[in-house]
């Protein structure tokens, strides 16, 4: 298979319905609302490019944007493989509670939010370390102290995740209304 075929295969896999909450939970947003998914993806890029632009002001924005695209691509790819395995180990997803016919709607809502929170936490931790490893190898961040760089990765991903949680909450509120 040529490079274009491989790239298309990877893109198709990214959009397969899955419980992979890689890089801020974009797949769950995609399932709930495609518009929110697109907005969430754009906001992640804007936040991370803007953040790194402030940390590395001498670096051309094109180089930072390319790096951010690469960071997010690889963290999402890893999430598609790793996060579902971790989710199955913890078995908190609502599907496991649907089998019990006595489960109430309020219990299901609580289980869904608990599951989403755990999935998002696992994705956040995985994303930070994947993106840190990749960013550390970039030409503009290579000279930065590792501890300082890791703190920056924690921070810009935290900002991204806060925005994504707000999008999920708004999406769920709109769906409920």
Whole-number percent of the chain with pLDDT over 90 = 32
Name the residue ranges covered by the structural domains of the chain.
Answer: 18-176
**Per-residue model confidence as pLDDT tens digits over 7-25:** 555 444 444 433 334 454 5
**In degrees, to the nearest 5, what angle opens at C-alpha 135 toward C-alphas 134 and 139?**
110
Among 44-48, 75-79, 96-100, name the most confident range.
Answer: 44-48
Taking 80 as the threshold, does the pLDDT of residue 42 lie above it? Answer: yes
Q: What is the pTM of this model?
A: 0.70
Q: What pLDDT does residue 164 have?
A: 79
**Per-residue model confidence as pLDDT tens digits over 126-148:** 889 999 999 999 999 988 999 99
* Own/partner long-range contacts of 59-68 (Cβ < 8 Å, ≥24 apart): 59/140, 63/138, 63/139, 63/140, 64/140, 67/134, 67/135, 67/138, 67/140, 67/141
Mean pLDDT computed over every residue of the chain: 75
Mean pLDDT of the region 77-94: 66
CA distances from 78 to 4, 66, 127, 169 (A): 20, 18, 8, 25
């Amino acid at each position: 298979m040529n490079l274009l075929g491989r790239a298309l295969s990877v893109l198709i896999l990214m959009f397969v319905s899955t419980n992979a909450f890689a890089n801020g939970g974009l797949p769950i947003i995609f399932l709930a609302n495609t518009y929110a998914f697109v907005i969430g993806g754009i906001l992640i890029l804007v936040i991370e490019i803007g953040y790194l632009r402030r940390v590395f002001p001498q670096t051309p924005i094109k180089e930072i944007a390319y790096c951010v695209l690469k960071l997010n691509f690889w963290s999402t790819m890893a999430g598609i493989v790793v996060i579902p395995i971790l989710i199955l180990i913890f078995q908190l997803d609502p599907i496991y509670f649907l089998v019990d016919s006595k489960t109430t709607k309020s219990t299901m809502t609580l289980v869904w939010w608990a599951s989403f929170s755990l999935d998002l936490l696992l994705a956040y931790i995985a994303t930070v370390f994947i993106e840190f490893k990749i960013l550390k190898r970039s030409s503009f961040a290579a000279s930065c102290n590792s501890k300082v760089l890791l703190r920056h990765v924690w921070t810009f991903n935290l900002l991204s995740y806060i925005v994504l949680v707000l999008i999920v909450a708004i999406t769920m509120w709109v769906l409920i209304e």
